[in-house]
Amino acid sequence: MVKSRADTRAAIVHAAAWLLRESGPGAVTTRGVAERAGVQAPTIYRLFGDKDGLLDAVAEHVMATFVSDKAARVAAATAADVDPLDDLRASWRKQIEFGLANPAVFRLLSDPERVLGSPAARTGRQILETRIHRLATAGRLRVPEPHAVDLIHAAGIGTIQTLLATPQERRDPRLGDAMMEAVLGRILADPPPEAPDGAIATAVALRALAPQLRVLSDSERQLLVEWLDRITETPARAAQVAETPGSANR
């Protein structure tokens, strides 16, 4: 029975993914993949161009499967009204576990050039943005949403890289949770929030909801967003002005 182009491509990707997981990128040779997939070597070149093209396809396949699961979990958490902070912590742990279980894929997708061209990586970031947005609408955030996303993203990459660079017997199993709590301490408003965090958390929450305020016109919503961005992005400058002697009389 002749396989379709899609079936042949899938067989090659699965074969290469197995070799990558078991033995690392060095094992993903044209000959090894061809033998495991039951195809001729020229077929791999015809479908993927070269080894780098094949590795890109494998990394995308593994990452896309993981991201699909993440998307289902965040949808379920939203539908069930799961506490957004609990959901974020659980997702963080899953991300660390994935990176440690798939070091070769993690290293491939840590390459900035590969990330820029990866639909799965972009979708993964969008899912993180959704989780952060849930925190913002709950009034739990004291920094702008994009800043919180960047902090968590950078912390996740750094944590996984550090653990992978440490011999397994010397890895600190508490490092991931400790890093998460450090980031949360930077981005979360204290409950109950105290000034100036209270005003900032409120502004961040309103900023998250602004696109839904249909009682306002488009231009009014845009102006509101500009005001709220000014509040959330320059809290230190606002506090400095408020503390300047005589500022109330200006």
The pLDDT tens digits for 120-136 are: 999 999 999 999 999 99
pLDDT at site 238: 45
Which CATH number goes with the domain that contains 34? 1.10.10.60
- pTM equals 0.74
Q: Is 176 exposed, middle or buried (0-12, 13-18, 19+ CB in 10 A)?
A: buried
The H or E element that residue 71 is part of is helix 51-79
**Residues 13 and 74 placed together within one structural domain of the fold:** no
Q: Tell which of 192, 209, 235 closes a domain.
A: 192
142-167 mean pLDDT: 96
**Residues 139 and 170 placed together within one structural domain of the fold:** yes
**Residues 34 and 150 placed together within one structural domain of the fold:** no
- How many CB atoms sit inside 10 A of residue 166's CB? 12
Please report whether residue 232 resides in a domain: no
CA–CA separation, 118 and 42 (whole Å): 25
Residues 6 or more apart whose Cβ sits within 8 Å of residue 143: 151, 186, 187, 200, 204, 232
Instruction: Please provide the average confidence, as pLDDT, over all residues in the chain.
Output: 87
Taking alpha carbons only, the member of 129, 124, 123, 122 closest to residue 84 is 129
Please report whether residue 219 resides in a domain: no
Please report whether residue 238 resides in a domain: no
**Residues 42 and 107 placed together within one structural domain of the fold:** no
Counting the structural domains of the chain, the total is 2
Residues 6 or more apart whose Cβ sits within 8 Å of residue 238: 196, 231
Q: Tell which of 192, 208, 240 closes a domain.
A: 192
On the question of pLDDT at 14 being above 70, the answer is: yes
pLDDT at site 197: 57
Which CATH number goes with the domain that contains 101? 1.10.357.10
Please report whether residue 166 resides in a domain: yes
Judged by phi (left if over 0) then psi (alpha if -120 to 50, else beta), residue 246 lies in left
Please report whether residue 3 resides in a domain: no
Band of pLDDT at residue 66, cut at 50, 70 and 90: very high
**Contact of 207 with 159, CB cutoff 8 Å:** no
Please report whether residue 235 resides in a domain: no
Radius of gyration, CA atoms only, the chain: 23
55-82 mean pLDDT: 92
**Residues 45 and 62 placed together within one structural domain of the fold:** no
**Residues 101 and 136 placed together within one structural domain of the fold:** yes
Residue 45 vs residues 29, 30, 40, 58, 173: alpha-carbon distances, Å: 12, 9, 10, 14, 42
Please report whether residue 177 resides in a domain: yes
**Residues 14 and 83 placed together within one structural domain of the fold:** no
pLDDT at site 2: 52
Taking alpha carbons only, the member of 172, 47, 199, 74 closest to residue 130 is 74
Band of pLDDT at residue 112, cut at 50, 70 and 90: confident
What's the token pair of residue 233?
């992005």
Q: Tell which of 141, 172, 192 closes a domain.
A: 192
| Phi (first) and psi of residue 241, to 5 degrees | -65, -40
**Residues 62 and 139 placed together within one structural domain of the fold:** yes
Taking alpha carbons only, the member of 7, 14, 15, 47 closest to residue 31 is 15
**Residues 65 and 31 placed together within one structural domain of the fold:** no
Host domain of residue 29: 9-49
**Residues 20 and 102 placed together within one structural domain of the fold:** no
**Residues 62 and 186 placed together within one structural domain of the fold:** yes
Please report whether residue 223 resides in a domain: no
**Residues 63 and 35 placed together within one structural domain of the fold:** no
Dump pLDDT digits (tens) for 172-217. 999 999 999 999 999 998 764 444 456 777 788 888 888 888 888 8
